[in-house]
């Protein structure tokens, strides 16, 4: 095997390959550790944490649909302190870079969580969840107003030196406006896309299937939507892009990189085949060899 | 926990709507404990379909037995699996039933809820009674296998086509009264629909015995990562928490569950 440079620098998060997992699809890493050698991932992106434990939504929290699923988990989690004590020791011992997805119901909560994580060894970066469709306060409300995005990113920027990666909502008229807002406010990289707001109705009962009524669509169905948004984002992005949405093969990941992504995240496919991220890494390497490329960075933005 | 590609060795219809699938699963079968389950990726379902969880019915020399009812799109396709085909299996998953018991065991099944209880019966040293219920005789499965191991079997069906006419809780009440009259203790091991679990848990509370309930929720990951299959639970100090049926369960003591 010829030498191929697989490492990337995602706005200060140094990854040995461009593949991580999407927040919420891989728990805190240890749930999958029996099945996947998580040290082979470029980074582990963990489930969203806020400043205190949070119970999430009532059941049903998910429904399978053609090409994927709609979920409204509602960001259940142990809170930032619980995350640091229960989950970080394991991840730190593994030595894999950890990207922590954080959320809150106001800007101060994002800052509080960011401050706490800033001093935690092993935390390589913060993904700002400003686009979750499944929590009533905050969430998508932040991500669909560019001024709020700028304010939030700027406020968190002021309290941490960790790489900041805002995760953008797909349901906006022009993604480029949000990319500019985030990077001008100090984002080091940009993550996209979050799930697409969606709804499923049981026609027999005429009730929404999800207890939250609406949720977020993920899986193969969203992939072409995400590719288009990553491509648009790359036209104005001065910072690296972390792309996700329906990756189940190396080809899906390579498509994102050609569209402009520096790194990618495997999401819903983890549920179906936990070995997907490792297959994607191997497949990207094989593609680079086959195309006579020497570094994975050559793929980024190589659309002709 | 393993993620294997497993060959179908046998696949037969055991009665109307019910099938028995035997897979060669090696270590998954060797390490499985009663009450645990496996997460199957059903070949033939369209690309991107989620896995389906199944109770472990039995294990035998590396074979994994799954007894299931065709209830939806996934199991409809699964029914067509032929010997020689391969299935991706993650398992064994979940906590399983407690095994070293001092008192009499009463197994309580609703329909194909009998599946994990058979595996349990093969591992319990002291034989007891299986109380099984269903809508009709078609839903009463594999009772001869329990009898063959020396277990007593009591049947209830809603339409009276097998055993006593009524719900599974009717003959269960008789068993609880019998145990109470003899001054002995008992524990219940229960698998079936939510309404049945709840009713049996309530009976257990009234008679002061433990009931280990096997919960069945729609799952996504099966390993505790996605938080789709949660259940509100009560700790011994009265505080509540939200647990994952797949990885904190699927077996919970009835008193833990906040319905």
pLDDT digits (tens, 9 = 90+) for A20-72: 999 999 999 999 999 999 999 999 999 999 999 999 999 999 999 999 999 99
- Residue B208 domain-assigned (yes or no): yes
On whether both B209 and B137 belong to a single domain, the answer is yes
On whether both B39 and B63 belong to a single domain, the answer is yes
- Residue B221 domain-assigned (yes or no): no
Chain B interface test: which of A53, A58, A64 (most B C-beta within 10 Å): A64
The domain of B150 spans 104-214
On whether both B73 and B43 belong to a single domain, the answer is yes
Predicted local distance difference test score (pLDDT) of residue B100: 77
Assign A2 a pLDDT band (cuts: 50, 70, 90).
low
- Pick the residue from chain A with its C-alpha nearest to B220: A271
Number of compact structural domains in chain B: 2
- Residue B219 domain-assigned (yes or no): no
On whether both B151 and B205 belong to a single domain, the answer is yes
B191-218 pLDDT tens trace: 999 999 999 999 999 999 999 999 999 9
CB A169 within 8 A of CB A152: no
On whether both B110 and B31 belong to a single domain, the answer is no
Task: State both tokens at A4.
Answer: 């191929």
On whether both B89 and B113 belong to a single domain, the answer is no
Predicted local distance difference test score (pLDDT) of residue A141: 72
On whether both B108 and B204 belong to a single domain, the answer is yes
CB A56 within 8 A of CB B253: no
Integer Cα distance of B106 and B184 in angstroms: 13
Predicted local distance difference test score (pLDDT) of residue B52: 96
Measure Cα distances from B212 to B188, B198, B252 in Å: 6, 11, 6
Q: What is the mean pLDDT of residues B133-142?
A: 96
B84-129 pLDDT tens trace: 999 999 999 999 999 977 899 999 999 999 999 999 999 999 999 9
Residue B181's domain is classified under what CATH number?
3.40.50.80
Predicted local distance difference test score (pLDDT) of residue B130: 98
Domain boundary among B48, B69, B93: B93
The overall average pLDDT reported for chain A is: 96
Nearest to A271 among B2, B226, B242 (CB): B226
Q: Taking CB atoms and an 8 Å cut-off, how many pairs form between chains A and B? A: 83
Measure Cα distances from B162 to B17, B190, B249 in Å: 17, 20, 32
* pLDDT of A139 above 80: no
On whether both B127 and B76 belong to a single domain, the answer is no
Chain A contact set for B247 (CB, 8 A): 31
- Residue B162 domain-assigned (yes or no): yes
Q: Is A24–B48 a contact, with Cβ atoms under 8 angstroms apart?
A: no
Integer Cα distance of A98 and A81 in angstroms: 16
Predicted local distance difference test score (pLDDT) of residue B16: 82
Residue B15's domain is classified under what CATH number?
2.40.30.10
* pLDDT of A83 above 60: yes
What number is the ipTM of this complex?
0.94
- Residue B203 domain-assigned (yes or no): yes
Domain boundary among B93, B122, B151: B93
On whether both B76 and B138 belong to a single domain, the answer is no
On whether both B89 and B120 belong to a single domain, the answer is no
Domain boundary among B93, B115, B149: B93
Predicted local distance difference test score (pLDDT) of residue B219: 97
Owner of token pair 């299931």 = B68
Nearest to A76 among B90, B221, B227 (CB): B227
On whether both B22 and B80 belong to a single domain, the answer is yes
A132 carries an active-site annotation: yes
B223 touches chain A (CB under 8 A): yes
Q: Is A34–B1 a contact, with Cβ atoms under 8 angstroms apart?
A: yes
Q: Is A271–B47 a contact, with Cβ atoms under 8 angstroms apart?
A: no
- Residue B207 domain-assigned (yes or no): yes
A266-294 pLDDT tens trace: 999 999 999 999 999 999 999 999 999 99
Answer positive or negative: Cα dihedral of B123, B176, B249, B89.
positive
Assign A1 a pLDDT band (cuts: 50, 70, 90).
low
- Residue B160 domain-assigned (yes or no): yes
Assign B34 a pLDDT band (cuts: 50, 70, 90).
very high
- Residue B157 domain-assigned (yes or no): yes
Shortest distance between the Cα of A55 and any Cα of chain B, in A, equals 6
On whether both B167 and B88 belong to a single domain, the answer is no
The domains found in chain A, sorted by start residue, are 8-56+74-195+217-298 (3.20.20.70)
């Amino acid at each position: 095997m010829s030498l191929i440079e697989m490492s990337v620098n995602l706005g200060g998060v140094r990854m040995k390959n461009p593949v991580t997992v999407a927040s919420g699809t891989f728990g805190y890493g240890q749930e999958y550790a029996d099945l996947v050698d998580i040290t082979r991932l470029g980074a582990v992106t963990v489930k969203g944490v806020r400043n205190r434990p949070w119970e999430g939504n009532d059941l049903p929290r998910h429904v399978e649909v053609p090409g994927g699923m709609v979920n409204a988990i509602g960001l259940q989690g142990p809170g930032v302190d619980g995350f640091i004590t229960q989950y970080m020791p394991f991840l730190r011992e593994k030595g894999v870079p950890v990207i922590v997805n954080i959320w809150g119901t106001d800007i101060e909560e994002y800052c509080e969580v960011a401050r706490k994580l800033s001093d935690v060894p092993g935390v390589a970066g913060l993904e700002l969840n400003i686009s979750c469709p499944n929590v009533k306060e905050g969430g998508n409300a932040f991500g669909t107003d560019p001024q709020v995005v700028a304010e939030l990113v700027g406020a968190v920027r002021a309290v941490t030196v960790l790489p900041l990666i805002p995760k953008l909502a797909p349901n906006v008229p022009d993604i480029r406006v949000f990319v500019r807002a985030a990077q001008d406010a100090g984002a080091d990289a940009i993550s996209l896309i979050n799930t697409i707001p969606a709804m499923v109705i049981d026609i027999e009962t005429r009730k929404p299937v999800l207890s939250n009524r609406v949720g977020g669509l993920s899986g193969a169905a969203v992939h072409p939507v995400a590719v288009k948004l990553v491509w648009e984002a790359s036209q104005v992005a001065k910072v690296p892009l972390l792309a996700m949405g329906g990756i189940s093969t190396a080809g899906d990941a390579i498509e994102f990189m050609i569209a402009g992504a520096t790194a990618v995240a495997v999401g819903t496919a983890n549920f179906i085949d936990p070995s997907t991220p490792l297959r994607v890494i191997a497949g990207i390497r094989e593609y680079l060899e086959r195309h006579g490329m020497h570094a994975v960075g050559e793929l980024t933005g190589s659309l002709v | 926990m393993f993620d294997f590609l497993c060959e179908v060795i046998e696949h037969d219809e055991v009665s109307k709507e019910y099938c028995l699938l035997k897979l060669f699963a090696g270590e998954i079968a060797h390490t499985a404990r009663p009450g645990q389950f496996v997460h199957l990726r059903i070949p033939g379902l369209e690309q991107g379909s989620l896995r389906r969880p199944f109770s472990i019915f039995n294990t035998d020399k590396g074979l994994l037995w799954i007894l299931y009812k065709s209830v939806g799109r996934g199991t409809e396709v699964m029914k067509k699996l032929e010997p020689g085909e391969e299935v991706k299996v993650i398992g064994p998953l979940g906590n399983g039933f407690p095994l070293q018991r001092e008192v009499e065991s009463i197994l309580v099944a609703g329909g194909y809820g009998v599946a994990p209880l058979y595996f349990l019966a093969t591992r319990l040293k002291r034989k007891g009674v299986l109380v099984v219920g269903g809508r009709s005789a078609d839903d009463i499965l594999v009772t001869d296998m329990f009898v063959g191991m020396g277990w007593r079997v009591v049947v209830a069906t809603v339409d009276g086509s097998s055993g006593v006419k009524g719900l599974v809780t009717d003959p269960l009440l008789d068993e609880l009264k019998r145990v109470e009259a003899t001054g002995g203790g008992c524990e219940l091991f229960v698998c079936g629909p939510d309404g049945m679990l709840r009713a049996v848990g309530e009976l257990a509370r009234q008679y002061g015995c433990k009931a280990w309930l096997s919960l069945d929720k729609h799952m996504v990951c099966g390993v505790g990562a996605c938080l789709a299959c949660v259940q509100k639970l009560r700790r011994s100090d009265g505080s509540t928490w939200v647990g994952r049926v797949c990885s904190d369960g699927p077996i919970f003591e009835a008193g833990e569950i906040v319905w």
